[in-house]
Structure formats: structure tokens, C-alpha cells
Structure 1
Amino acid sequence: MAESFIFSIAESLITKLASRAYQEASRVVGVYDDLQDLKTSLSYVKAVLLDAEQKQEQNHELREWLKQIKLVFYDAENLLDEVDCESLRKQLRITHKHKVGGFFSSSNPLLFRYKISQRIKEIRKRLDRVAADRDKFGLQTIAVDRRVVHRRELTYSHVVESDVIGRDHDKAKIVKLLMEPSLNNNAGSKDISVIPIVGIGGLGKTTLAKLVFNDKRINESFPLKMWVCVSDEFDIKQLIIKIINAATLNGTTSGDAHVVQQTLKDLDIEQLQYLLRNKLAGQKFLLVLDDVWSEDRAKWIELRDLIKAGGAEGSKIVVTTRSYSVASIMGTVPFHDLQDLSFEESLSLFVKWAFKGREEEKYPNLVMIGKEIVRKCKGVPLAIRTLASLLFSKYEINVWESLRDDEIWNLPQKKDDILPALKLSYDQMPSYLRKCFAMFSLFPKDFEFQSHGVHALWRAAGLLPSPSKNETSLDIANRYLSELMSRSFLENVSDVSTYYYFFIHDLVHDLAQYVANDDYQLISSENPNIPENVLHLSFTELDLFSKSFKLNLSSVRTILFPFGIEKAGNEDLLTTWVSTCKYLRYLDLRDSTFETLPRSISKLKHLRFLSLRNNRRIRKLPASICTLQNLEELHLRGCVELETLPKKLRNLINLQRISITSKQSVLPEGDIAKLGSLKYLDIYACDNLESAFVGVKLSALRFLRIMRCKNLKSLPLDTHHFPQLEQFTVDECGNFELSDGHEDMNSVLRLTTIYFSMVVNFPYSLQGYANTLQTLVFAKCYELEVLPEWLLNMTSLKYLHIWNCPKLMSLPNGIPRLTALEVLRIQNCPELYRKYQPHVGEYWHQISHIKHADIRKTWRSR
């Protein structure tokens, strides 16, 4: 795949150079005129890039020309970052001119200006030299990327049966098999029954399994249900952990489950086997093993024997796989061969996703073209849904004809290949969305993404534009994710109020890797090679990263470990990383065991994101970390041995998010208050903290989360201390009491989201948020029996989430008064599930008017 991101890079460079903030920064540093000349050169090249990107597939020389331009652009990005950093240093000198002393003594403004001016001229020369060749390719000027995204309304729930077309017969057959006492070929056999579902990628195997998994008859017949995504690796230990975790998930929230899984990783295989047998002992269970690839029969027999040692008679396993060999190895009955949708079913699915309501009746010409597109999709639901989503709310005949007649359909294809359909949808993405999508290639298949984590990665990589006055970069990231959802590129989305989890289909992951090329690389034992000039690197194993340093990685901007780096404790190795990857923007060292960070960390002046999350050995951070003026996120959550936060924290003037775990009884509140860009503050497991931020004003803070601070008693929740606060979370703080002292309603915050966990007493003063509160969450309130009476006064409430409140007996009778309520989500609340179960619960009629009512017995299945 040739380059696809160059226009977007040019656009972001020019936008940055044209912005008032950057022009002011360049004047401060003294290179304004030089940078405006660079903007002129960039604009000249940018004018033909869209046409070049569209023609590059058939022209090798043009692809090489674009590759040379890309390298110049990346150098320009690094240079503009350095100007930003120098501007921030000057700003800090002015703000703390009597206090910083020799903190920045190594920086000489005159020398910096001279060096930067020389580099700008060199970049311009290179760019002008390459740009001189543009005319020989006959490129047209296309100044604006007119590809747009038409959004459709989205829901964040598990599979909705009414959205699935053409699988009723398949579902009925699988359910019937599961309801039978025994399916084994040998009478009297104690082997567990295994039902394989086989089909090509994108055909809907997982969707069918989920329909079965969530069927009411299955719920009644199998007290224990477990869903495990297997994917590429068939690692026995990891699968046992997943099965135990899935069994545990029946009584926990997602956050608790991650804690359980972290603990299980520390156990050996013998201990895990014992736990597994205890979890399954005497229980009739249904286990779904989704997306199995391994044809290693010995490994399957080993896992099967462990599983059947615990369960009760009648327990069953459903397996989804693309491989007939896997089905033959694992199945105890003939596999269920999932077929393509018929043409009529395919067309029905296409119409459902391409039009609103019965809108198709107004556009018979479009439906005729749609029929031709549907035939090209070969009955594969993922391909149909993706292309239909692409055409949603587009009514121009030429747009539909262009999709139907695209040359990509004529390329040589493997049997049942649906990549062309997905690639067509990708080709219609706006340029800004393409680079964001390619970032998904840095993660393994079946990875569970979290929206905040994706936002941090995109922002650190410079993929998000500067937010306008009334939005944040998180708002922009969520908008981008919504656009990807509307194209059916995200699935299994689970909204947990302040963020959400999601997955991407294996074939969508294949597409991300296909378009990512050499800029983005996931390094694994199967793919250990690192391309030259790579920008973003992800490693499944620490050893693979250690071996990579014989290469020149000076261009690398991102280093992440999707599974963490538990055994990384070599400080010398870390020092090597810091000195080698001088352009790093994103460094994720979570789960590491480093006892210190090198003082040379200060050399990473481009760094925007640094995580030491769950490092249980580090005691102190070097003072030099506070020279990282570009740093936007610093994560110290779970650093339980950290004695103090570094002095001069206030010098991180660009910091927008910090999560803290510390042994301090008093946080450096004065320093934190001086962080003028700080919008997100997480205080986690600070066991010695009793009170916080009394008399201190955090003027820019919008999101405050306090978790597991067992001795915290008070926090001044008012406009004097937190004038911009929008979201507040208190989670597992047993001694914390909400004040009932808001007598002056002018001091009440303009909160839009409140998240309560393990809280029972809710002061009446919270009615002060009636006109602003949009999201309210009650989680793990184990003793809560009645919801607070002020709830019915929340006239602006849109989202109400209730999780793990086992003693909560009912919802308020007046809940229809909450006219703004759009989403009601209830999980792990047995009495509420029984009474408000959709369509069959005694009180379902009281909430049936709510647009999205998601009432589940347990947490999501995947």
C-alpha cells in the first residue's frame, strides 16, 4: 500500500503555521519570517497532493516522489515542535523569572534562533527541490479534501437481534443443539460437547454466537456463561486466565475484572488450574471460544481436559473459527457451516444501513444501483454493512455509481475476499481520519480499546487539531471515533458513561495494517522486522524491543506495549531508549519495574505522554522530568511506592492530565494549582491523604476523579475551588462524605457528570445540579436500597447508569418525569433485571419509552 497521509500532514503543518498562537510563538523565538517562507513552500506542494495520492497506485515513480516529500514533512514537524518547546521555555522563564535559576541554563536563545533558521532553510531547499518535479506528473490542483462523513445515530449495546438479518434459522439450530442433554458421538462419554461454527471472515460467526449466548432459553438453561476471545495465540495459561476472568465477570464490573486479571497473571499454571476447577465445580456452563485459529490438537486436548474436570453434566462449548481443520479437531458434532446471506437478505441489510426508516422508497434509482453493489459483496454482512454505512445520507447518483464502478473491484482477489469493500470505505475517509484509523494497526487483533487511551495516543502523535474555545481534544477524538463507528469500523461498543470500550473486527484490523505501511509497525515474534524511518512502534514482548537497538530508531515517535512490560527493570536499557529515540512523543512504561528514571529523560523535549502506571517499585522521580514542557499527560497511578511527587511540578505548564498515587499525606497542592493547562486530575490509592485542595483554586480543571483513597474525608466541591469542573467521580473512598453545605446556590458547580461508587448517603443539596447534570452513575453501591429522591428533579439528565447495586429493589415511580433521559443502562442488579427486563419484566412499561434501555443481568459478553 502506498502512502495515504501526506495531504493530511501538509494540511496540519500549514494550519499550525497560520494559527495566531503559533505565529506568536515563532515571533517570541525570532523565526517568524523564516517560517512564513516555509508555509509558502508547503502550500505550493500541498495543492497537488490529493491528486497525487489518488494516482499513485498505478505510478511507481509518483509513489517515490510522495515518499520523499513525506520525509521532508516529518522533519518539518519535528522542527515546529522544537519551536513550540522553546516558546514554552521562554514563557516559563517570564512566569517564574526569579525562581527557575539555572533550570534552563543550557538553552542559549541566540544560538537556538540561528540553528533553527538554518534548519528551516535546509528544509525549504529540500522541499523546493522535490516540488520542482511536480509538473512532470501532470497533477491537478485540488485544494480542499471534500470527503465528508455522514453520521448516523448509534447505540452502545450488545448485539441487537432486530439488527441481524438472515440468521434466524442458524440461531434456532444452535440453540436446539445446546438444549439437548448430550451431543457426543459415543454413548456414555464424559467428554464435553463442542459445537463449531465455521465461516469466512466477516460472515457473522461472532454475531450468531452472541445471538445464541444472549437468548433467554440459554440464560435459563446455563447458570454460568463465559465468553472468551481466543484469536491468534492459543496460549494455555492465558486462556485459563481468560476463562476464570469470564466466570468472575458474572459478578463484577469491567474495572474489577481488569484488577482480577492483573492478579491472575502473577499465578503459576498449577495455581490457575486449581482456580479454574473451583470456578467451574458443579456448575452447568456454556463457554464460547470465539475466533480460534490454532490447529494444535495437543493444546486443545490439554485445555479441554482442564475444563471438563470441573463442570456439571450438560455443559457445552461453542467454537467460532474460519478453519474447517480447527472445527474437525475440536468439534464433537458436525460443524455448523455458516452460509452467505441470500441476495434478498443482503439487499434488506444494505437498505437498513444505507437509508433512514423507509426512506428508500423515495429513491428507487439509488436502490437499483445498490442492488449492483450488493452483488459485489458476495453475501458477506460486514462488507454490506460497511459500504451501506458509507452511502448513508448521500443521495447523489454519481456518488453511488462511483462506488459501484470503482476499479478496486477489478483487482485480483482471493476467494471470499472482502478487503476491496472495506478499502473502498477507507478511501472515502477524510484525510484527517485516515492516520487516526491507521493507529489501530499498532495493537493486536481482539484488543479491547478504551476511548481515553485512543485519545491520548492520537493527541500525542499530533493527529488532533487544536480545539476551539468550547471543546476539548477529547471531544474531537470522540467525534472521530463516532465517524469510524458510523462507517461500521468499530464494534461491540460498551458505553460506561465517562468513556467507552470497543473492538475492531479482524478484517478491519487487516485493513488498518494494510494501509499503515512502514510508518506504523506492530512487532511480534511472527513479524520481528522494523522498517527504516518507522515512526510508531508497538511491541508484544520486551525482548523484541531490546533487540531492536542495533537499528537506527532516531525517527521513532511512539513506543508502546499493548500488554505492558512487567519484567522491564533495566535502567541502562531505559537510558539507551532515551538517548536513541530523541523525537519520542509517546512512551508507555506501564507495569514496568524500573526503580528510577534516568536524569537524561529531560532530553525527550518532544514528549507529550509518559506513563509509569502500576510500577510498584519506583520511589522517586528525577527533578529533570519537570523540564519536559511539551508533556501533556503524566500517569503515576498505581505507583504505590512513590514517596513524593517531584519538586517544581508547576514547570510542566503544558500538562493537561495527571494521575497520582503517592505516599504523601499532603499533596503539593500549590504546584498543582499552578498548572494552568490542567483539565484532568486522577487521585488514586493515596492512602495517607485525609483532605485535599482546601483553600486552593484549580482554575482550569474540568474532570476530577478520586479513587480508593481510604482515609480521604473531605474535599471542597464548590466553584471557588473548582470553577470549571464538569465531571466528578468518587469511587471506593469509604470515609469520604459529601457535604450538604451548598446553601449559596451560586457556589454550586455546573457539573454535567457525577459518578458515585460505594456511596450510600446522597445529600439533598445535589438537587442544585438539576439544570446541568446530564450523566449520573451509581456503581458498586452494595448497600443502596433506594435511589435518592432528588433524582426525579434532574430535568437535564440524559444518561443514567446503574451497576452492581444488588440491594436496589426498584426505580422511582416517577421516572417518566425525566423527559430528557435517552439512555438507561442497568447491569448486575438482579432485582432490577427481574422487574424491568425488556418486554417481559413486570415494570418494563415504566421505562419502555426511553430511547436506549439496556437492561442486562451481567456485564457485556466481550
Structure 2
Amino acid sequence: MAEYFVSDIAESLLGKLASSVYQEASRAYHVYEDMQGIKDTLSIVKGVLLDAEEKTDQKHGLREWLSQIRNLCFDAEDILDAFECQNLRKQIVKASGCTRMKVGHFFSSSNSLLFRLRMARHIKYVRHKLDKIAADGNKFGLERIDVDRRLVQRRELTYSYVDASGVIGRENDREEIIKLLMQPHPLGDGHGDKSLCVIPVVGIGGLGKTTLAKLVFNDNRMDELFQLKIWVCVSDDFDIRQIMIKIINSASATAPIIALAQQENINRLDIEQLRNGVRRMLCGQKYLLVLDDIWNDDRAKWIELKDLIKVGAIGSKILVTTRSSSIASMIGTVPSYMLEGLSTENCLSLFVKWAFKEGEENKYPNLVKMGKEIVTKCRGIPLAMRTLGSSLFLKFDLERWEFVRDHGIWSLNQKKDDILPALKLSYDQMPSYLRRCFAFFSLYPKDFGITNIEIVILWGSLGLLRSPVGSQKPENIARQYIEELHSRSFLEDFEEYGYYYYFRLHDLVHDLALYVAKEDLLVINTHTCHIPEQVRHLSVVENHSLSNALFPKSGTVRTILFPIHGMGIDSEALLCTWITRYKYLRYLDLSDSSLETLPNSITKLEHLRALDLTNNCKLKRLPHSICKLQNLQFLSLRGCVELETLPKGLGMLISLQHLFITTKQSILPEDEFTRLINLRVLSFEYCDNLKFLFREAQLRSLEVLLVQSCGILESLPLHILPKLEVLTVIRCEMLNLSFKCECSIRNLRMKFLHLEHCPRQQTLPQWIQGAADTLQILVILDFDSLEMLPEWLTTMSHLKMLRIVNCPQLLYLPSDMRHLPHIKCLSIGETREGKLLFQMEKQIRLRLRD
């Protein structure tokens, strides 16, 4: 059964109705009485919504009743958002002081008189409809259920490597796989096909195949045995081109963040260039290649890949993980290693590890006893143990544990060895607002690396981020949600780079997201022949599935997403249809499209919060009318390398919080940027004609500045950015980071600083010292001329992470580096005096371990 999330939607709407902003607006437009009527009726209905959602399979007609309430709540939300649009327009008109704009505003459809009449009609309709639906609900005999919205105890995010000490019950499996890797090829270590030994690891989803492969991959013995180690996650799509790109990235990157920077250039290579690159890297090398999560059973594709990589030295090995025994038989050169479930003893150990703090289980022998009964239902699958254990973390009441043990979900009909009930049970215990956010992961493909930025924009645009205490930044609220999902073992493979971090969903968790979201959210591919009218959020994963006739005409769509790199639209006519039809769109992703301009009708999308035009390589201009989208919070022009200028009137986008820019423009309109009073994140990338960013503009709200590949940029205006917390500078060859006025930059609030490929810098700029009390992460990459680090670096009292990579002239570290009080991660590589730096790193790591 799909989720309705009606209680959460109603809660969000009630919050808006109760706010002073909407109270004041309802009085100003003489609709206060009807708005209060909606609020009162919805308050009564909300009390029984949780009970209704639990009983949809038991009572006929309840599902339709919930659907009607949900749709009406969305209608009411659109009305309230219209009030917000009107208020923003008034702010723009007032700030302009322009008589012509005021007259034009009066005669437009948005002037106060016409707006009041239109809104009064809509609100009366919603109130009447809601009263009728509420009365219909009395026949179901629903009970009032209160909502528990307390966040569970969260655990700190970790990096993507596997901690061998944290893996339970796989020691023997690891040793058996390593034995297979150390053995000579059973057919003799010859050349060509005979030099490739393929070892398949087979098991059902959630059993820990990937974890086992990581244990093997990171074992020190593998470094001694193989000259080259390569990790490739294959997943659903056995795309040779993408596999080659992953091989090149994994084999060549000195650090993950460098691989990310190289990704765009690699994507531009044609298939023959990629093929040659892979063969050059592997030729004559004794390598270990891990192909994780193979689903494709097309033998022709496998032979194509094998022919490509059989250029390695004698003794090269391929380790494959798959759920399919038939695939393993097709590609394996040795018998498959069949991974079994954990023993009962190991199951309990893993469950206890996730359900209790270390040693705390001794205080609750009755709960441990009940845990033994719970783990018998998990069929030896580690993921099930982790998810159920996490759901009970720091919960010691017997009733809660009995609920997990005895819940009826275990009696659902399911496929053999299916662990969806274990995951669904943990999901059901999450707060409603978190369940609703989780469902949106279904819009992304399996094994998709999701960044915190894109999920913050998506959740925020749809109004899903609510601050539990006071007024918090959307990024912080989203991080709390992500950390809670991580603490419940729903998210994994975290790679954190300070401001940015990446994560994935386990395949089975992704299946769960699809399971709970199928009413409201839909992924469009070649198999999609019909889109239901009630769908509100669409994700397009295959270009050739786009068709005007396919998309619903109901106008309810709020999200259109193209998550896969390289996929977008090439039809302005289709875009015009969407704009006309879906006037309540909140999130419109047009990235990787081939549009040369946007239609002027884009201004009809007055509810739009996010517009993504990333990598529209043909886009030459934007209509100036785009600046009438006063609700817009996120605008990305990143990678629009042909964009000649920014639109006039940019300062009218007063709600804008995130702005990513690529432009040919040489001088920025400083007065327009000054008017962006809510702008917190600003990025410039491939702006080849920008010599200076700003001279006089005061960007008082800006917290994040990202500058990349701006070839002639000479300086950065840190003195006009009083709230700057994050600065990233990558590949700006002409940039001199040592400013003339750096002595005046003393009290910085910077927390994260990433400097990469700054060939002119011989020393670190003095102004960094101004962030001694706040800087937490410092990353220095590819400084060809850097000879020394200043002694004041040791005064960074809050520094947690220091990464120094590929600084060939660097001779030594400051003498007191080992005494940095909060350092947790130190990474040093590719320097002239590697041994000296390695010794320093070793000393610090020993201190951290102690």
C-alpha cells in the first residue's frame, strides 16, 4: 500500500494558517472568516488522520476519503502561496519607487482588487468542500491519535570506507575470498583470457556482499598482491561507457575529490578515446577489479567488457558481486562464492550493536532476550538487523520492543527471503515528516549518488523542511533529517567534503522508497505508457520516453526532475506545454537540455521555487521576464557556457538563496546583486571573461562562495562578505590569494576552505589566520609552488580536517601540528619530502587513536 502523508500535509497547512503573516493577509483581503473556518475544520479532521491512514485496508472508502482531503489541502496550500506571491510583488513595487511599475501593477491581473475577488472565491470553495468531506468522515468511526514528533538520538556521519572492526560475522568469508584471490588461475596464469580470473560472490540483497567486497578490497594484503586496485559499482545499467569512465576515475584519481573534478572532462571523451584510456591504464598492470552489484545478464556486453580489460599482467583478478546465480555462472571462471546469512549468535551481536550503546545491553537482559526473538525474523540478513536495531536505539520500554516483535507486517505475503517487512517496520516508526521526505528518494535511480545540495533544494522547494526549534537554515534542517535517516541505516556510503557530502541508498531501501511513494511520485522510462492524473512529482530517467501525450493534463504536477547526467529536453514546444499546464510547479529541472532560450511564458510559474538550467550548452540568453519569479529560491546557470549576459532586473528575485552562474559577461551588475538580500550561496564557474567579481557591492547575507575555472579572475572580495563561512577556489590560474588589503580581514567566520590548483601561491595567504577561531576544514590541492606552511597554522583551534595533496615543493609541516586540539582527519600525499610528512602524519594519527 502506498503512503498518503495526509497528516503531515495537514500539519504543514495548519502551521501556515496559524502564522501571523497569513492571519494579517486574510484580514487585509477580507477573507479572514473563511480562512478561520478552514483552519478549524482541518484541526478537527487532523486528529483522526493517523488512524485513517492505518485503516485504509480495513474500511471500504477510507482511501478515497483520504485522497480527497489530501487534494484539498494542496489546493489550500496553492491559495496561501498565492498570498505570498502577492506580498512579494508589493515589496518589489514599493522598493522600485517607480510610478510606471505601480500603474502597470494596478492594471495587471495581480492588483489587489482583482486578487481579492479571485482569492475570496477560491477560499469559499475550499471551505465548503472541506466541511462536506469532514462530515463524510464521521461514518468511518475513526479515533483520535496524537503524533510523536521527537527526533531519535542521531549518530555522527561517517566516511565511505568500511571499518573492519565494525563488521560482525564476516571474518571467515573475508579470508576465503582472499585465499581465492591469492591462488593462481585454475586454468594456468597465461595471457589473454586466461590471465583473467573472475570470482563471483552471490547472495540476496542486504546480505552484505558489498561490505564483504570492501573488506577484501581494503585489506593490506591486496596492496601487496596487486599493483592497481579499481572499484566500479555497476548496478542496474551495464553501460560500457559508464563502466570505462568509472575505471579511469578509480584507477587514476589520487583522491575522490580530484576524480569528481575530472569527471566532466572525461564525459566529453568519445567511446574510442575512453577505450584507449582504459587499456593504457591497465596494460601490463597486475590489477584487482571489483565489479559491484551486477544485474545484467546480456552475455554479449560482458564479453565486450572482458575483451576490453584483458590487457593486464598475469595474476589480475576480477571480484564480482551479484544477486543472480545465473549471472555468476555466466561470467565466473571459478565456482561462485555463495554468501550465507549470519549465524544466530552474530545476528544477535549485530542487532545489539545497533540497538544499544556499548555495554548498555547488560542493563536490559529482558530486552536482549526479546531481541533474540526479533532477529529470528531477519533471516540472517545484516541490513535487516541494522535497520531494526537502529529503530530501537535508546528505546527501553518493553511495549515498543513487543510492537516490533509482534507487528502484523511480518505476516504480509512476500517473496522468498524478502526483507521488505523489516525495512517497512523501521520506516513506519519514523515521524510522518521524515517518512514523507524519504519517499522523494524514489525519484532517483538505484545506486545514485545524491548530494546534500540537490536534496536540500528539492525538499525545500516543496516545503518539506520544517524547523523544530526557532528559525533554522534549510541546510541544517535537511542535515538533521539526513542524519536521522542515516542513524536508522536507511542511508549509506557517505563521502563528506565539508560543505558538500554524498550518500546513497541501499538497493532494498530504494525498493522501499518506491513501495511507499507510488501514488504521488512516478519515475518515467520507456516502460511508462500512462501517467495517472493525481501524480504530482515526476522524474524522467530516459529521454526518448518524453511525449506530450504522455503527461497528465490535470495541472497537479509540482516537480519535474531529470536526475541523470546528460538527459534533458530538446523541445521548446514541450516546455511551453508544461508551463501552460502546470502553473503550480515548484521544482523544474531543465538541466542538460538543448534550449537556446526560455519562453517569456516562464513568468506564469509564479509558484516556482527552483529552476535548474545546468549544462544548457546552447543557451545564449534568458528573457528578462524571468526576474518576475519572485518566489524563486534556487537558480542554476552552471555550465551555460554560451550565455552572453545575466538577465536585467536580477535584483527583483528577492527570495533567491542559491545562485550558480556561468556567463560570458565581463562585468557583473553590482547594484542588482546588492538587492539579493536573501542570497546565501553564490557560485561562479567557467566565467572566462570575469576579471573581478565585485568592487563595491555589499553581499551581507552570503555564506558560501564557490569559484571554479575562472581563467582571468585576479582577486576575491572577502572584505565585502562579512558572513562568509565556506570558500572554494578551484583552477583559477591568475588569481592571487594574497590580497593587498588582507591585513584588514581579521575576523572571518569561515568554517570550510578548499583551495585547489593555485600555481602562483608559494605560501598560504595571511588572511586565513583571521579564521583561527572558526575554521574546521582546510583542503589544499595541487599547489605546485607551495614551499612551506606558516607556523600560525597551529593556532587553528577548531580545525578538524586537514588535507594536503600534490604539493611537490612542500618540505615540512609546522613543528607543533601534532598538538592541534580537535584534529580528527589528516591526509597528506604527493610531496617532495614524503617520508618526513608521513612520520608527522603517523604521530598525529597515533595521538588521535590514543
Range of TM-score over shorter length:
over 0.9
| Of 182, 203, 214, the match for 1:210 | 214
> Which residue is 1:158 aligned to?
161
Could you list the per-position Cα deviations for residues 313-347 of structure 1 after superposition, in whole angstroms to 9, with x for gaps in the alignment? Answer: 21111110011001100000001000100000111
> Which residue is 2:737 aligned to?
738
2: CA distance, partners of 1:619 / 1:529: 35
**Paired amino acid for 1:276:** V
The count of aligned residue pairs is: 843
> Which residue is 1:555 aligned to?
556
Q: 1:793 to 1:264 in 2, by over 3 A?
A: closer
Q: Are residues 1:689 and 2:687 paired? A: no
> Which residue is 1:391 aligned to?
392
> Superposition pairs for residues 748-787 of structure 1, below 5 Å?
748-759=747-758, 760=761, 761-787=763-789
Structure 1 window deviating more from structure 2 (69-78 vs 266-275): it is 266-275
What SS does the aligned partner of 2:684 have?
A: strand
**Paired amino acid for 2:13:** L
**Paired amino acid for 1:138:** G
> Which residue is 2:722 aligned to?
723
Could you list the per-position Cα deviations for residues 130-176 of structure 1 after superposition, in whole angstroms to 9, with x for gaps in the alignment? Answer: 11122222222224334642213342241110110111111111112
Q: After TM superposition, give the deviation of residue 194 of structure 1 in Å.
A: 0.2
Contact 1:566 1:593 in 2 (8 A): no
**Paired amino acid for 2:658:** R
> Which residue is 2:50 aligned to?
50
1: CA distance, partners of 2:844 / 2:90: 61
Contact 2:155 2:483 in 1 (8 A): no
Could you list the per-position Cα deviations for residues 53-112 of structure 1 after superposition, in whole angstroms to 9, with x for gaps in the alignment? Answer: 222243342222111111111211222111111111112111113176266452232111
Give TM-score, length-normalised by structure 2: 0.94
Contact 1:353 1:389 in 2 (8 A): yes
> Which residue is 2:666 aligned to?
665
> Which residue is 1:478 aligned to?
479
**Paired amino acid for 1:849:** R
**Paired amino acid for 1:643:** E
> Which residue is 2:585 aligned to?
584
What SS does the aligned partner of 2:498 have?
A: coil
Contact 1:522 1:537 in 2 (8 A): yes
Q: 1:632 to 1:843 in 2, by over 3 A?
A: closer
> Which residue is 1:83 aligned to?
83
2: CA distance, partners of 1:277 / 1:743: 49
2: CA distance, partners of 1:77 / 1:851: 53
**Paired amino acid for 2:68:** Q
**Paired amino acid for 2:420:** L
Q: After TM superposition, give the deviation of residue 671 of structure 1 in Å.
A: 0.2
2: CA distance, partners of 1:372 / 1:353: 16
Structure 1 window deviating more from structure 2 (653-662 vs 197-206): it is 653-662
**Paired amino acid for 1:496:** Y
Contact 1:147 1:428 in 2 (8 A): no
Give TM-score, length-normalised by structure 1: 0.93
> Which residue is 2:21 aligned to?
21
Percentage identity across aligned positions?
53
> Which residue is 2:132 aligned to?
129
Q: 1:567 to 1:416 in 2, by over 3 A?
A: closer
2: CA distance, partners of 1:732 / 1:470: 36
> Which residue is 1:287 aligned to?
289
Q: 1:612 to 1:404 in 2, by over 3 A?
A: same
Structure 1 window deviating more from structure 2 (582-591 vs 528-537): it is 528-537
Q: Are residues 1:824 and 2:822 paired? A: no
- Give 5+ residue unaligned stretches, structure 2: none
Q: 1:836 to 1:166 in 2, by over 3 A?
A: farther
1: CA distance, partners of 2:404 / 2:255: 46
Q: Are residues 1:235 and 2:239 paired? A: yes
Structure 1 window deviating more from structure 2 (508-517 vs 369-378): it is 369-378
Q: Are residues 1:110 and 2:113 paired? A: yes
> Which residue is 2:5 aligned to?
5
Could you list the per-position Cα deviations for residues 7-45 of structure 1 after superposition, in whole angstroms to 9, with x for gaps in the alignment? Answer: 110011111121223334444555444322221121111
2: CA distance, partners of 1:832 / 1:155: 30
Contact 1:467 1:473 in 2 (8 A): no
> Which residue is 2:842 aligned to?
844
> Which residue is 2:92 aligned to?
92
> Which residue is 1:335 aligned to?
336
What SS does the aligned partner of 2:555 have?
A: coil
> Superposition pairs for residues 166-565 of structure 1, below 5 Å?
166-184=169-187, 190-248=194-252, 250-251=253-254, 253-254=256-257, 256-258=258-260, 260-308=262-310, 310-465=311-466, 471-549=472-550, 551-552=552-553, 554-565=555-566
2: CA distance, partners of 1:313 / 1:100: 79
Q: 1:832 to 1:331 in 2, by over 3 A?
A: farther
> Which residue is 1:857 aligned to?
none
Contact 2:818 2:840 in 1 (8 A): no
Contact 1:28 1:87 in 2 (8 A): no
Contact 1:3 1:67 in 2 (8 A): no
Contact 2:185 2:195 in 1 (8 A): no
Contact 1:494 1:501 in 2 (8 A): yes
**Paired amino acid for 2:37:** D
Q: 1:118 to 1:851 in 2, by over 3 A?
A: farther
Contact 1:50 1:145 in 2 (8 A): no
2: CA distance, partners of 1:156 / 1:25: 47
2: CA distance, partners of 1:722 / 1:261: 31
Structure 1 window deviating more from structure 2 (99-108 vs 492-501): it is 99-108
Could you list the per-position Cα deviations for residues 708-727 of structure 1 after superposition, in whole angstroms to 9, with x for gaps in the alignment? Answer: 21211122312xx2222222
Contact 1:253 1:803 in 2 (8 A): no
What SS does the aligned partner of 1:712 have?
A: coil
Structure 1 window deviating more from structure 2 (78-87 vs 620-629): it is 78-87
Q: 1:531 to 1:405 in 2, by over 3 A?
A: same
Contact 1:523 1:540 in 2 (8 A): yes
1: CA distance, partners of 2:835 / 2:176: 28
Contact 1:704 1:728 in 2 (8 A): yes
2: CA distance, partners of 1:4 / 1:827: 50
> Which residue is 2:636 aligned to?
635
Contact 2:157 2:494 in 1 (8 A): no
Structure 1 window deviating more from structure 2 (143-152 vs 593-602): it is 143-152
Q: After TM superposition, give the deviation of residue 399 of structure 1 in Å.
A: 1.1
Q: After TM superposition, give the deviation of residue 290 of structure 1 in Å.
A: 0.8
Q: 1:355 to 1:835 in 2, by over 3 A?
A: farther
Structure possessing the higher relative contact order (Cα contacts under 8 Å, 6 or more residues apart): 1
2: CA distance, partners of 1:657 / 1:113: 32
Q: After TM superposition, give the deviation of residue 241 of structure 1 in Å.
A: 3.0
What SS does the aligned partner of 1:48 have?
A: helix
Contact 1:808 1:829 in 2 (8 A): no
**Paired amino acid for 2:220:** K
Q: 1:204 to 1:410 in 2, by over 3 A?
A: same
Structure 1 window deviating more from structure 2 (538-547 vs 635-644): it is 538-547
- Give 5+ residue unaligned stretches, structure 1: 853-862
Q: After TM superposition, give the deviation of residue 519 of structure 1 in Å.
A: 0.6
1: CA distance, partners of 2:806 / 2:397: 49
Q: 1:187 to 1:769 in 2, by over 3 A?
A: closer
**Paired amino acid for 1:93:** V
Q: Are residues 1:144 and 2:147 paired? A: yes
